[in-house]
Amino acid sequence: MRHRHHDHMDRRHQRPERDDAEGRGHRHHRGGGKHHGKGPRGGGHRGGGRPLDHGELRLIVLSLLSEDPRHGYELMRGIESLSGGAYSPSPGAIYPTLYWSEDTGYAEVAATEGSKKSYRLTEAGQSFLSANEGALKEAVERLGSLRERSQARDRHRQAGEDGLDRNILEVLAVYHERIEREQEERKAARETGKEFSRDNRLLAVGPKTGRFINILARSLESPTILELGTSFGYSAIWLGEAARATGGRLITMELSPEKSEQARQMSEKAGLAEHVDFRVGDAVELINTMPERVDFVLVDLWNHLYEPCLAALAPKLNPGAILVADNIRPGDPGTAPYIAALRAIPGMQSVPLPVGSGLEVSRYLP
């Protein structure tokens, strides 16, 4: 026989009790025992390894039931999905919550299959959710933050397998959060028909291309690496790491002094500054005046600059030099002059690759 929580019957539209520093004392659970909530607000797992307190868990469960009827294990999978696999409540947390929702009239049994019951939200439950909309939003955001941290750990773990140190991983994590945020903003702009402004956007090559150029540059011995288009310095981290690992050096060129300075600061945080030479100015002019010959080139600036930069760069390529051009899509008229000029260079071998936003990878073998 279940113990009914009659206190909630008379307070259906009040904010659910919290188990953190704002909690209003302990409450009794099925099977007896007491819980004294001391978990801190904000991200991170709370006492007992739970990222949600009881009040937040109740709101999340009711929110899921508002979408469609579910039984206990479906709710566990739903919450696990919201957290990106980082958190799945135990049956000992889910079923008392379902009993509470039934006792208070916020949910009711929709169907019974053997001993398995699925529940659906009632009108009273919907009113309760509406009255606690702010608290529900906080709970959903908490799970979202947990999902983002889990994804970041996955990225870090994968990157760590390639020998990247902690400073570089931390800097890349900052960039990756910004990349994901901009992707969501671009998607929202596309769905609403609003213009997506490119001003002050990262517009980075992304982790797949970053890892790819790092692997290529690492295959060379003490290379002079040239990056055309520093922007805010994301790819400079990948190339700077390759320069450090191989005893080489990265030269990165950017028209905007502000962007170049921000990239330099991130390079310092990653511990790579002494391996990177930041140069500011017009790319073609900088290439024409540079004394170095280069072994690896990343071309990642505005498309109309690709061909003139290649014309200035071609005489300064060492035999065996590798060129990687980003944002190359089949049939794109913006990069067609670059492709044509590239393949007209004697000894240049080139192939398009479907990595990231599309790459053209070339090797100079005169």
Predicted pLDDT at 181: 82
CATH of the domain at 117: 1.10.10.10
| Pair 30, 115 in one domain | yes
Question: What integer pLDDT is reported at residue 213 of this predicted model?
Answer: 96
Whether residues 333 and 281 share a domain: the answer is yes
pLDDT exceeds 90 at position 1? no
Where is average pLDDT lowest: 143-157, 228-242, 295-309? 143-157
Range 216-235 burial, b when 16+ CB lie within 10 A, else e: bbbebeebbbbbbbbbbbbb
Position 198 scores a pLDDT of 58
3-state secondary structure the chain: CCCCCHHHHCCCCCCCCCCECCCCCCEECCCCCEECCCECCCCCCCHHHCCCCHHHHHHHHHHHHHHCCEEHHHHHHHHHHHCCCCCCCCHHHHHHHHHHHHHCCCEEEEEEECCEEEEEECHHHHHHHHHCHHHHHHHHHHHHHHHHHHHHHHHHHHHHCCCCCHHHHHHHHHHHHHHHHHHHHHHHHHHHCCCCCCCCCCCCCCHHHHHHHHHHHHCCCCCEEEEECCCCCHHHHHHHHHHHHHCCEEEEEECCHHHHHHHHHHHHHCCCHHHEEEEECCHHHHHHHCCCCEEEEEECCCHHHHHHHHHHHHHHEEEEEEEEEECCCCCCCCCHHHHHHHHCCCCEEEEEECCCCCEEEEEECC
The residue among 254, 304, 249, 242 whose CA lies nearest residue 278 is 254
pLDDT bracket for residue 263 (50, 70, 90): very high
- Through-space distance between the first and last CA atoms of the chain, rounded to whole angstroms: 85
Residues 223 and 346 reside in one and the same domain: yes
Nearest to 258 by CA among 219, 213, 321, 200: 200
Residue 170 lies in a domain: yes
Shared domain check, 337 and 228: yes
pLDDT band at 2 (very low <50, low <70, confident <90, very high): very low
Model pLDDT, residue 154: 64
Same domain for 229 and 177 = no
Q: What is the pLDDT of residue 27?
A: 37
β-bridge partners, 298:
227, 324
- Are 64 and 101 contained in the same domain? yes
Give me the helix-helix angle, 234-246 and 166-192, nearest 10°. 150
d(C-alpha 241, C-alpha 311), whole Å: 28
202 is a domain residue: no
Is 80 exceeded by the pLDDT of residue 201? no
Highest averaged pLDDT of the listed ranges 140-149, 197-206, 274-283? 274-283
Query: Are 227 and 242 in contact, with CB atoms under 8 Å apart?
Result: no
Any domain includes 198: no
Return the pLDDT at 196.
Answer: 53
Query: Domain limits at 321?
Result: 207-364
pLDDT above 70 covers what percent of the chain?
Answer: 81
Contact 108, 46 (CB under 8 A): no
Tell whether 115 and 217 lie within a shared domain.
Answer: no
Would you say 229 and 299 are in contact if contact means Cβ atoms under 8 Å apart? yes
Is the separation of the CB atoms in 23 and 17 below 8 Å? yes
- Same domain for 78 and 159, yes or no, is no
CATH number, domain at 321? 3.40.50.150
- Looking at the structure, tell me whether residues 223 and 133 fall in a common domain: no
Residue 47 lies in a domain: yes
Domain boundary among 138, 166, 192: 192
In a domain, 158, yes or no: yes
- Total domains in the chain come to 3
Q: Which amino acid is at 334?
A: G
Q: Please give the pLDDT value at position 8.
A: 40
Residues 169 and 214 in one domain: no
Q: How confident is the model at residue 331 (pLDDT cuts 50, 70, 90)?
A: confident
Q: What is the mean pLDDT of residues 254-258?
A: 95
Query: Is the same domain home to 90 and 123?
Result: yes
Same domain, 134 and 272: no
- 1 found inside a domain: no
pLDDT at 58 (0 to 100): 94
Q: Is the pLDDT of residue 3 over 70?
A: no
Residue 197 lies in a domain: no
Give me 121's structure tokens.
């939200």
What is the rounded average pLDDT for all residues in the chain? 82
| Mean pLDDT in residue range 38-45 | 34
Residue 143 vs residue 320, higher pLDDT:
320
Judge whether 15 lies within some domain. Answer: yes
Q: Which amino acid is at 128?
A: F
CB atoms within 10 A of CB 330: 9
